[in-house]
Amino acid sequence: MIKKKKALFTKVERDVILRHVTTAVDSSGIYTTNNVYERCLNIMKCIMTVV
């Protein structure tokens, strides 16, 4: 059984992040996991800065 952790993001934040990641994939057509990961980190920084 996997213990349920406290959600790191709210649903809205997760949706926004997923949308950004999908956009990164769609716009270039080619992407590396690293790019997506870095993009997530950047978005995280933005969220943290706003909050």
- Domain ranges in the chain are 11-50
**One-letter amino acid of 26:** D
Question: For position 46, what pLDDT does the model report?
Answer: 74
* Helix, strand, coil percent values for the chain (each to nearest 5): 70, 0, 30
Please indicate whether residue 21 or residue 45 has the higher confidence score (pLDDT). Answer: 45
Question: For position 29, what pLDDT does the model report?
Answer: 55
Return d(Cα 16, Cα 23) in angstroms, integer. 10
Provide the 8-state DSSP code for 8.
S
Question: For position 38, what pLDDT does the model report?
Answer: 74
pTM of the entire predicted model: 0.30
Return d(Cα 46, Cα 38) in angstroms, integer. 12
Could you read off the pLDDT of 12-43 as tens digits, one per residue? Answer: 877 777 776 666 555 555 555 566 677 777 77
- Alpha-carbon Rg for the chain, nearest whole angstrom, is 13
